[in-house]
Structure 1
């Protein structure tokens, strides 16, 4: 296209006007093309592409859930807890997260149990040496 520092070219302005007219429902593009002084042969293939895109693309409305989550993401809404985040994951991922959480808790408990056993054995050894 053109240099970002330079003003729009007549061709760019024409294409913008044609696109706006099609979106607004105006199908008389000849008058728009004549306003910009761009040779018709130069724009015919571009007009054809714009018309095809206009017919092909259909308007889609996003779901309310998508809009709400996008707004939360963009606005930086307050952080939710880990359970809130897990709840919005797919079911298979929720199961894996739950299993991982249980394994992690078991690991922490096991470390505490082993540490307690080591401490008890050291205390017993210290008591036995003092009693002798």
Structure 2
């Protein structure tokens, strides 16, 4: 029976060869003192893993967010904090902000109309 360490070394060498897209694995297998029967079941698995697990580049947004998380820095400003919220929360916050702005504008308009009405009353009384 082959030692565990030589089997691990062989599998590491085979993995490196498959990652380098080498087709001839026989010379690598011959270098190690491991029976062919214990290796045969791993080679197709290594090939399938190589074909299935493809490299993926993270988005710039994810990289920036991860960098901030690892540094422990919080996003600066309200807009930065809002940008990373889910879309539903952003829409809800926008609706609330618009409704608040409309209420403030309405209140200001009502204050202006009552003030001009009071001034008109005062001028008619005098």
Tell me, yes or no, whether TM beats 0.5: yes
1:70 Cα deviation after fit: 1.5
2:30 paired residue number: 34
1: CA distance, partners of 2:67 / 2:59: 12
1: CA distance, partners of 2:5 / 2:64: 39
Aligned alpha-carbon RMSD (Å): 2.6
The two structures have a TM-score, normalised by structure 2, of 0.62
Greater relative CO (CA pairs within 8 A, separation 6+): 2
2: CA distance, partners of 1:59 / 1:84: 30
User: Once structures 1 and 2 are overlaid, which stretch shifts more, 58-67 or 30-39?
Assistant: 58-67
Gaps of 5+ in 1: 1-7, 104-132
Gaps of 5+ in 2: 101-126
User: Once structures 1 and 2 are overlaid, which stretch shifts more, 60-69 or 89-98?
Assistant: 89-98
1:70 aligned onto 2:61: no
Alignment of 1:2-21 (within 5 A): 9-21=5-17
1:83 Cα deviation after fit: 4.7
Alignment of 1:1-132 (within 5 A): 9-97=5-93, 99=96
1:79 Cα deviation after fit: 4.5
